[in-house]
Amino acid sequence: MTSPVDPGYLGYQPTVEPLILTTGASFVQTIQPSGGAVFPTGTTISIGLTAPSGVSLATWSATVTPTAASWAVSSAICDAIPANSRYTMLVTYPTTPATTYAWYVGSVIRT
C-alpha cells in the first residue's frame, strides 16, 4: 500500500527560522493569514523564549485580530534575551479540544 505522505516523518513540521533581535530596538512583527483566510475568534499566538540552558526566559503574546497577529515588544524586554537562546511560536486554535501548532522554531540571533 502506498501513501501520499512523505515517509521521512510524521506530524506537523514547523518552519525553522532565526529570530533576529537588535540591541536597543523593539521586536516588531506582524503575521497575516494568507489567501483571504482569517484567524478565528479566540485564536492565541505566542513566542516562548528559552535560554541556551533550557530555562524559560519569557513569553511574548501576540495581539490577534481576524486579519493579523502582531507583536511590539520593547527594547528593554528584548535586550534581556541572550544570543543563542531558542524560541517557539505557538498558535492555538479554539477547537474542541484546542489545537496547538508550533509554527516557527529556531535560535535567537543578536545584532
pLDDT tens profile 5-62: 556 777 889 999 999 999 999 999 999 999 989 999 999 999 999 999 999 999 999 9
**C-alpha to C-alpha distance for 65 and 57, rounded to whole angstroms:** 26
Single-letter amino acid, residue 92: T
In sequence order, the 6+-apart residues with CB closer than 8 A to the CB of 104 are 14, 15, 16, 17, 19, 87, 88, 89
The domains found in the chain, sorted by start residue, are 15-110 (2.60.40)
Q: Lowest mean pLDDT: which of 1-5, 50-54, 93-97, 103-107?
A: 1-5
Predicted local distance difference test score (pLDDT) of residue 1: 43
> What three-state secondary structure class fits 100?
strand
**C-alpha to C-alpha distance for 44 and 23, rounded to whole angstroms:** 27
Give the mean pLDDT of 62-86. 97
